[in-house]
Amino acid sequence: MKKMALYFLYTALFFGALLFFTPKESVYYFAEEQLKPFGIIIADEEAVDHGFTLELTHLRLYVQKIKSVEIKSATLSIFGLYNSLSATDLLLDKTFEAFFPPLVHRAELHQSVIDPLHINARAVGDFGEAEARVDLLERSVKVLLKPSKLMIGRYKNTLRKLKKTEEGDYSYEYQF
């Protein structure tokens, strides 16, 4: 029994040390290079490794060479079995302000080994609350939006392009 407990302890310590000493900055910059062929460029960021997480600050995201969003801070957790990205204070570019409220307070993305072909996301901002699910196999995105009063009052044209559900929320589907 004691040998079994030591085996599990050493195994847990090994995997803990492996996660702690993984070069997260290198993994992040590799992933950034993999996004470039899709027209997604992340610039001006500062990356700091905090052991089990990677903290990113002052990011600027460009999609198809168009400045899209500025992110004040983000925390990236790469555990292999469960990966997540949590970002705070996202500011959409002014070009999107006619279609969508520009301030997103918090956004979270999760992906796990239990369901590796899907990425789940949640966001809270001036627009209300949104949940999204990205299906990597079918190459589709499904978004469910619970709009705020600001979104309902000021951005009616955007909401008209979305499908209204029975609960009063709005849904959007996109194939990429």
Looking at the fold, whether 27 and 101 belong to one and the same domain comes out as no
Give domain status of residue 7, yes or no: no
The tokens describing 125, both together, are 């901002």
- Domains held by the chain: number: 2
55-109 confidence digits (pLDDT tens)? 999 999 999 989 999 999 999 998 878 899 999 999 999 988 889 899 999 999 9
**d(C-alpha 95, C-alpha 67), whole Å:** 9
151-175 confidence digits (pLDDT tens)? 999 999 999 999 999 988 999 999 9
**d(C-alpha 107, C-alpha 73), whole Å:** 11
Looking at the fold, whether 32 and 118 belong to one and the same domain comes out as no
Which of 78, 101, 124 corresponds to the end of one domain?
78
Give domain status of residue 18, yes or no: no
Closest CA to 62 of 89, 38, 31, 88: 38
Give domain status of residue 5, yes or no: no
The per-residue pLDDT for 79 is 81
What does pLDDT average to over the chain?
Answer: 92
**Domain limits for position 61:** 23-78
Mean pLDDT, residues 27-48 taken together: 91
Per cent of the chain over pLDDT 90 is 71
Which of 54, 78, 102 corresponds to the end of one domain?
78
The per-residue pLDDT for 18 is 84
Looking at the fold, whether 52 and 89 belong to one and the same domain comes out as no
Residue 17 confidence (pLDDT) above 90 = no
Looking at the fold, whether 74 and 85 belong to one and the same domain comes out as no
Give domain status of residue 11, yes or no: no
Looking at the fold, whether 93 and 164 belong to one and the same domain comes out as yes
The per-residue pLDDT for 68 is 92
